[in-house]
Amino acid sequence: MGKENGRRDKLRSISKKEYLPVLSRFCDTVTELCLEDGSYKLVVLQGERDTSGAREGDYTTLIETIVKDYVDESDHAVFRDALSLDAVRKAAQQGSDVVTVQYRVRSNSGFKWVENRVFLHCDGWAVIVSHDIDYQKEYAGHNQRDVAQYGVALRNIYDELFEMNVTKNEFRLLHFREGKYVKPPQSGPLDALLERIVEEIIYVEDKAEFAAFIDPQKQREYFAEGSEARFLEFRELWVDLGYHWVSATLFPLARDGEEGDEVYLCFIMDIDEKKRAEEATEQNKQLQKQKMDDQRYRIIVNQTNTFVFEWYREGDARYVSKRLKNRFPAEYQARDVLDVLEKELVHEDDRRSFGDFVEELKQTRENSEVTVRLLDHSEEYKWCRIAMTYVNDEQKEPLRIIGTINDVDEAVQSKLALLHRAEYDTLTGILNMDAFYERAQELVQANPKKNYAVIRLDVNRFKLVNDLYGLDVGDNLLKHIARVLERCLAVREAVYGRLGGDVFVICVPYGRPEELVVLVRRIWQGVEEYDLRGNKASPSFGICYVEDRNIPMSIQCDWANLALKTVKGNMIKRWAFYGGKLREQQLDERMIESNMENALRSRQFVLYLQPKHDIRTGGIVGAEALIRWNHPTEGLMAPVRFVPLFERNGFIIKMDEFVWEQACVLLRKWIDKNKTPVPISMNVSRIHALNPGFEKRLLGMIARYRIPNELIELELTESTFVENQQELFQTMKTLQNAGLNVSMDDFGSGYSSLNMLKSVPVNTIKLDREFLNETTATSKGKIIMEHTISMVNDLGLKVVAEGVETQGQADFVDRAGCHIAQGYHYSKPMPIWDFEAMLFKQGDGAE
C-alpha cells in the first residue's frame, strides 16, 4: 500500500511540474485537496502572488478562515455550498467533473468578484483553481447581453484535453465535454488511439493533414524552431453523426532533464460556427456582381444593431443601408461613405484618429476598425465603432469592401466614467493624487528643454473653517480653489490636482522665477475671493524647482511641502522656495535616518545626566536622564538635531526604551555597590505614551533589574496630556499605583495647564524655562509665578524649576516656595562618570 501511495505521489509531482507552466496562463492560484483525509496544499502561480496564510493543513479550517476574513457576508452560503469539504466529496460521489462557483470578497473599495473551479479526479484528489473576474463582472453591468454571448463562447472553448506521452506510448483523457464528441477511452496506448481517431473520426479530406500534425518527428522539428504551440483545424465525427470543425492546440511540456519523457498536451475546441461563417463569407464572393439590397441584410442588421455599407470595385457600385441613412443623415448619393463620415459626421476632436484609420486602410488593405463619435439624427454625437473588411482577389486587389457601424456609446461612456473616477477627484473634478503624479511626470519627461516647478498649496487653519462654518462650506471652498486653478492655468501647459484634504499641487513650466511668484499671487488672490461670511480663506505656498526629472513627482511634492511649512500660518510671507537650508536639512535628516539603527546597535548613543539640586543646600536630590549621540565622524551630537526627527519617524520608541534601560542599569550598579542612589527621571515621548501596552513593558523592565519603583520618575510634556486624555490618564494612574512618580514637563508652555491641574494624574510639576524667564522679567510676571507655585504646593504636588541660570532666579523661586531647581546655574548635562563623581563625593562628605 505504501509503495502504491509513493508511486501516486510521484506521478502527481510529475504532473504538477508539467502542468504548472500551462495552468499559469489561465489561473491565479491552484490548491490540491485530498478528499480522503481533508488536507490541502496550496500551489502559488504567477510569481508567488499569494503569500498569506498557511500553505498546507486542514481544508475545513482553511474554508472557515476564508469565509470569516474575506468572503462577503451575502455569499457565505454560496461559498460553503460549493467549496466545503462535504460539498466537494458529494460532487465527487455524484460523478461530477467540475464544480464552479463565483463569489465576492471584501476589499478596500467594497468587494471584488472571484471565480473558483473544482476539478475532481477519480484517484480521490481534487484541484481547486481561482482567478479574479472582477473586471468581467463590472463590464457586465454595462452590456450584459454581450457578456452573456461571450460567456457562452468562453465556456465552450476547451472541450477535450489529452496528455500524450510519446516516450511511453501512453495517453490520458484529462477533460471531456459530454454530449458533443465521440468519447474516446480514458487512457491507453497512444498509437492505438491516434490510429482509431484517423480511421474512424477524422473527415476523409483531413486525414492526411491530421496524421502529419500528430506525427512525433514532425512535432520535434516544429518545436525545435522555437514555437510555443502548434495549431490545426480539421473536421471530426460528433455524436450527431455529422462532421464538424474543431481546432487542436498542441503544447510541449517541460522535460525532466535530458532523459525525461516527451509529453504533449492537446486542447480540442469547437470552431464549427466560426468555420461555417467563413465558408458563408467565401460563398458570398460569388454574389459580387449582384447589387445587394436591404432585404439581404435585414436579419443581420436587426439582430446585431449593425449599420452596413459596401463598395464593389467592378462598376464602382455602392450600397448604403436605409437604416444607416436614417440614423446618420447626410448626402450619400454617389459618394464614398468614408468621405461622408469624415466631412459631415465625425466629431471634430476625432477627425485626426479617423483620418489615420482611413490612411491605414489605403496602405494595408486589411481589416481595421476605429471608434469615434458620429452625429446622429438627434443632432447628438454618439460613440460608434466603424469596421472595414477587405475582400481581395488573388493579386490582393480589393474586389469588395464591407463596412459596418455599431453604436457603442453606452459601453464607451461607461468605460470613460470608470476611467474618470479612477483619475479624478470626486469632489473638485480635478486630477487626484495618483493621476497627478503620473501626468506631471510624463509632462516633465516629454519636454526636457523646458523649466518646470512644483507648487504646493493648502489653506491655513482649514479645520477651523469646517468647525465654524460646516463641512458644506469647507467643500465649496475646495471646489472654488479647483476653479481658481483652472482659471489661472487655462493658457499654460500645466498639470494640477488635489492630493487630499485641503492640499493642492501644480506642475507648471516657467521662463523666469518671477513668473512663478506672479502665478502664486494670482492664485492667492483668487482663493481669497471666496466669502467666508466676511472672512477670507488664507492659503500658503511651497515652490520647488524640478532640477532632476528622474526624481519621482511624489518626492518633488514633499520638497515643496518642506518649503510650505516654513511659511505655514504666516500672514505676511505667503510662499517659500525649496533649496539652501531646507536641502541641507533634508540631507542631514537622510544621513541621520540611514545611521540611526546601526548607531543604536553599536551603542553610539550615550546616557547623560543633569542633576536636580536642593536650592537651600545645593545638594543633588535627583537627575534627569538625557541622550547624546557620539557619532564616529560628526562627533557629539545634541538631541535637538535628531530627537525631533525620531519623533516624526517613530524611532523615538526605541530611543526611549534604550534610555530607560541604561537608567535601570545605572541604578542597579549603584545599589549593588552599596551607594545611595537618587531618583532618575526619564522622558516619555508623546508617541510612546499613547502606544498601547507601553506601561507593561516599562514595569517589566524595572522588575527585571530589581529597581525600587520610587527611584523612577516619568516626565511627559504638557502637550502630551492634551491628547487622548482619558486613555493617557488611566495609564498614568496605573504607573502611579505601581509606585512610580509622574511629572508634567514644560509646564507653562501651553494654554491649558491651569485647567488641567485639577485632574491630571501627576506627582510633580516642572516649570518651563521660558515660562520662568518671561514671568520673572516683570513685576506682574513675578506675581503670576509666585501664585502658580503656591497653587501647585496647595494641590500637594512637588514643583521643580527648569532652566535656572542665575542666582537671582534661584533665590526668587526659593522664596516663592519652589525648593528644587535644575539648570546651568548649578550644572550642565554631564557624562555618567562626572555625575557619579559629584554625587558620591557629596555623599562621602555627608558621611
Higher pLDDT, 314 or 511: 511
Higher pLDDT, 148 or 784: 784
Q: Is the pLDDT of residue 20 over 50?
A: yes
CA 271/CA 211 separation, integer angstroms: 20
Q: Is the pLDDT of residue 293 over 50?
A: no
pLDDT at 356: 87
Q: How much is the average pLDDT of 41-58?
A: 64
Q: How much is the average pLDDT of 811-815?
A: 92
CA 660/CA 645 separation, integer angstroms: 20
Higher pLDDT, 187 or 364: 187
CA 798/CA 615 separation, integer angstroms: 14
Q: Is the pLDDT of residue 341 over 70?
A: yes
* Range with top average pLDDT, 110-119, 392-401, 830-839: 830-839
pLDDT (tens digit, 9 = 90+) per residue, 51-96?
445 788 899 998 988 888 888 888 888 899 999 999 989 988 888 8
Q: Is 411 helix (H, G, I), strand (E, B) or coil?
A: helix
DSSP state of 182: P
Q: Is the pLDDT of residue 149 over 50?
A: no
pLDDT at 145: 47
Q: Is the pLDDT of residue 673 over 90?
A: yes
Count of H-run helices and E-run strands, the chain: 31, 34
* Interacting residues of 346 by C-beta distance below 8 A, sequence separation 6+: 354, 372, 373, 374
CA distances from 42 to 54, 59, 78, 246, 577 (A): 8, 10, 22, 35, 54
Q: How much is the average pLDDT of 647-673?
A: 92
* Range with top average pLDDT, 26-40, 264-278, 566-580, 600-614: 600-614
**Residue 174 CB: number of other CB atoms within 10 A?**
18
The pLDDT confidence band at residue 723, using thresholds 50, 70 and 90, is low
CA 328/CA 716 separation, integer angstroms: 77
Q: Is the pLDDT of residue 556 over 80?
A: yes
Q: Is the pLDDT of residue 152 over 50?
A: no
- Stretch among 261-270, 307-316, 612-621 having the lowest mean pLDDT: 307-316
Q: How much is the average pLDDT of 33-42?
A: 88
What is the 3 state secondary structure string of 270-290? ECHHHHHHHHHHHHHHHHCCC
pLDDT at 335: 80
Name the E strands within 197-288: 230-237, 243-252, 263-270
Q: How much is the average pLDDT of 440-463?
A: 91
DSSP state of 508: E
- Stretch among 562-576, 673-687, 700-714 having the lowest mean pLDDT: 562-576
